[in-house]
A and B are shown apart, each in its own frame.
Chain A
Amino acid sequence: MEMLISIPILILIPMLASFLIMSPMFTNNEISVRRFTKSICSIHLLYSVLLLIMFNPEHPYISKISFFGFDWIESLGVQFIFKLDSISMILTLLTSFIFLLAAISSKIHIRKNPKFYYSMLLLLMSAVLGIFTANDMFVFFMFWELEIVPAYFLIGGNFSLEWTSEAKKSAVKFVLFTFFGSMIMLLGILLLHYYNYFSTQILSASFDSISAGGLPFAIQLFISICFIIGFGVKLPIIPLHSWLPDAHTNAPTPVSMVLSGILLKTGAYGILRFNYQMMHDAFILIAPILVVFALINIIYTAFVAFAQTDIKRIVAYSSISNMGLILLGLCAFNKLGLNASVFHMVAHALITSGLFMICGIIYVRCKTRDINSLGGIATKMPNLFGFATLIILASVGIPLFAPFISEILTIISAMFSEMGMITKAVSILSLPLLVLSSCYMLKFLHCAFMGDQQDKFSKINDISVHEFIVLGAILVWLVVLGIFPSILLGVI
């Protein structure tokens, strides 16, 4: 059993599967490629669950790869080290789960180039898993950059009915923003690597051996600002967010699910690992400023979301709003805040993939995403209406659902934070502002589903079995986590 526990296997399963699909020998038949992808994702989920069963938070898994006895780049002290502690474990499970849902829901959306699409999806999966488990700055950065290539093709590629020439532009925008962020981050990593070597004389880039405490404070501050900008692009923090609505709107639905469900979380995870854990001296100084940005995230995007007419854009802006909440939890800088943030990462991933799924289902049936021309489809699609109502109610923070717990915990943690008055003020301010989310979400629900039945939608069908399974799985987890939050809260 011990032999089975290896984090590289976790990353290699999707990567090898991706290369296998890409190889010319593999069939180009859409059904078999999709079934293969689904089975790979299921196996991966099972393997993650296996790891979870044997997981002991006191002793995180650590795996190390070396080639012929050498580390990866020994001259820089870079080692292929992976570590799976509680946070990584949770996010790994989440990644497996959301990618499985995305693969299942690709059925009705992906019409062209299935081989390329599924191989890129699996490659993206392995890159994200690498980000969540890497325990070395340069390995982390490698996966961070590796993620760009598949994400680019998934957003811009001509795979689905939704594809327009706008998609390519938004893919380029996504790549340039992300690459800008990662270059600033690379500056931080290089400086941290060098000054860590300078102060401790240990040539290493692993998270455990970096002790930022020995650095001059000004340099530490500079490096943390680099990291904040780098991860702030992915999170996104407000002035760096403009890639997100375009990318999420123009991508195929399963890709939108993955983007907002998992890829945004990598930004939050990066801030957690680098700023929160490694550079905490500087983070204490930065956190009150970041809190203000988090508040802007929450308020500004809520108003913008209310003004949108494209249902996918509403969901995209609501993601930014929710990521502000995650940032607020991190900036509270206490254990409760950390717990609440990770909990909200999971809850938001479930919510947002569910909502994008619903948008996709509506688009495939009604051929439009415009909120003004939709309406009255509830009578034709009662099951979808039921799911949509429940998921939207969950997203506005109704009790019994997971987001309720995480939102309340985040606000409480900010209120009891020792980071100064600003954090407390923001926590009090953001409490009524969460009501804003119900405004745009209920607008979505109302305009899309209710009203008089329209003739043009008289022939649409209700959701099929696989969509039922995906939405059902999301809903089950939302309820389970809402009723038993201690499943997640206990482990961190």
Chain B
Amino acid sequence: MINDLFNIMLPQICMGVFILINLLSAMFISPKHYGYARLISLTGISLSIVLLSTVQTEPQYFGFRNSVMSDSYTLLFSFVILTCGFFIALLTKNLLFKIKQNAFTFQALLLTAILGAINVVSANDFLTLFVSIEMLSFPTYFLIASAKGYHSKEAAFKYLITSAVSTGVFLFGVSYLYGITSTLNFMTIYKFVSDNDISLLYSFACVMTITGLISKLAIFPFANWVIDVYKGCESSVLAFLSTIPALALFGIVCRLFVFPLSSSFELVFATALFAIITAFWANTYAIREKNVKAIFACSSASNTAYMLLVASLVSVYNLSTVIFYLICYVILNITVFGFLNMTECNNIGNNLEDFSGLFKYNHGLTVAYAIAILGLAGLPITSGFVAKIYLFTAIANSGLIFVPFLLILLLLMVFALFYYLKLILPLFETNQPDDNKLVLKTVYSQKVVVLICTLITIIVGIYPEILIRLCKFIAYNI
């Protein structure tokens, strides 16, 4: 046990220590010094990133009686989650100013959620997975509710209800899996499945389990929460909500697809169907939407749907494309919400027309925002373009049966481009009265986040080979 702690758990322990520091500070430090909360979080996350180097990955390491595992796959996901967490913590300055009283608690919750996300990725049995998912989603309710006003409370409550229902569905599926295989461990389930013929009941259990998991990604049966929740959230919390749960849950869903649940055709079919329905719903819904955050909610839902479709067509090659797409997607999303964070600081509303004419006084920032949106739409020379092509090769390679799916997705991309254009259009309006109100006042940290993410987007767009190789390496070593 002690060995396990030192071999694979050091980053998690470090996170835990800094959560405690934040909680203690909440008690002993006056709210006047709210700025320290962010500093503590940033230190904790960067220390954890450093400590990732101590994690043992080769060969696969199973700790705590096989309930936690560690390999290059979990290491990559932990790294990406922590990096995103670092960017998100950088973006929280404005929110902390508004909620001075609870600044330290807020940061402690953020760190807890990130810790939960890392644990989700490294889980090796369904019990650990369940606990980790709750660890991820429980702080999320409070993060969503942290902003002032009625809407954030409503959003938090909606998220709470959907999460509770989906957790129920997940546990229902897991209980059936346990009934069939009499174990909760992934490896043992995999062994059981490969030794015995699988029944329809097993497929049913798998579908239930996966449905419960993907509801937090806003996939069809539980997708409706996404728009209201996004509308009610602060942008820095949105940067969290659209990246960290997606990373954590894709990390575990891809792993579940690759080994324990791989042999069920019904699961593949059901997931692909859910993904297509979500993509269709999200892309058509966003066309008439006027609220920027709601449009990004639809964009997140459709992007995760594309990835889920590919992840469900199980193969190692597909896995590498999903990881690549996921990394590009979170970077793009952080850029977008970093920009929205700046506009929020300047009391610019969330409607499309509120953004008109921003280009005139903020060339660099609006161009970065436009590049991120073009990346989400999949236009060159951004990482989104390469990611789109790489993801879709996976569907094309899966056989002729999936060509209709591919066709539907490609046509939906046209819908998507339409609403992405709606976002970009107002920025370049020129018939605005000349006033300096539109000059965005920004903080250093926001600019840094947007700049770094835009640079990554463009560099990966021009030269994606290294990242693709990394993703392939990870996928083939799972």
Contact = CB atoms under 8 A, between A and B. Distances in A.
A434 interface: no
B342 to A, nearest CB: 18
Contacts of A152: 421
Given A138-B389, A158-B431, A183-B411, A146 B380 contact: yes
Interface in B363-379: 363-364, 374, 378-379
A235 B390 CA distance: 28
A142 B388 CA distance: 11
B468 A75 contact: yes
B414 A186 contact: no
B468 A73 contact: yes
B414, B418, B466: residue with the most chain A Cβ atoms closer than 10 Å: B414
Contacts of B390: 73, 75-76
B18 interface: no
A190 B392 contact: yes
B403 A191 contact: yes
A18 B364 CA distance: 16
Nearest to A113: B430
B269 interface: no
A72 B465 CA distance: 7
A187 B469 contact: no
Nearest to B359: A116
B468 A180 contact: no
A190 B393 contact: yes
B323 interface: no
Contacts, number: 93
Given A67-B465, A71-B465, A180-B414, A158 B421 contact: no
A179 B378 CA distance: 11
Interface string A135-161: 000100111011011001100011000
A67 B465 CA distance: 9
A186 B421 CA distance: 20
Contacts of A180: 411, 414
A255 to B, nearest CB: 16
A230 to B, nearest CB: 11
A187 B469 CA distance: 24
Contact of B410 (A24, A76, A186): A186
A329 B465 CA distance: 41
Contact of A179 (B396, B417, B465, B466): B417
Interface stretch (A102-110, A168-176, A318-326): A168-176
A374 B379 CA distance: 43
B463 interface: yes
B393 A172 contact: no
Contacts of B465: 67, 70-75
A196 to B, nearest CB: 11
26 contacts: A70-B463, A71-B465, A72-B464, A72-B465, A73-B390, A73-B468, A75-B468, A112-B430, A142-B385, A146-B379, A148-B379, A172-B425, A175-B421, A176-B417, A176-B418, A180-B411, A183-B413, A184-B410, A186-B410, A187-B407, A187-B410, A190-B393, A190-B406, A191-B396, A193-B393, A194-B396
Given A73-B468, A180-B414, A186-B410, 19 more contacts: A67-B463, A73-B386, A75-B320, A75-B390, A75-B465, A138-B389, A142-B381, A143-B380, A145-B378, A149-B379, A172-B421, A175-B417, A175-B421, A179-B413, A183-B413, A187-B403, A193-B393, A193-B396, A194-B397
Interface of A: 24, 67, 70-76, 112-113, 138, 141-143, 145-146, 148-149, 152-153, 157-158, 168, 172, 175-176, 179-180, 183-184, 186-187, 190-191, 193-194, 219
9 A-B pairs with the lowest CB-CB distances in the bound complex, closest first: A190-B396, A183-B410, A70-B465, A142-B380, A146-B380, A180-B414, A194-B396, A75-B468, A67-B463
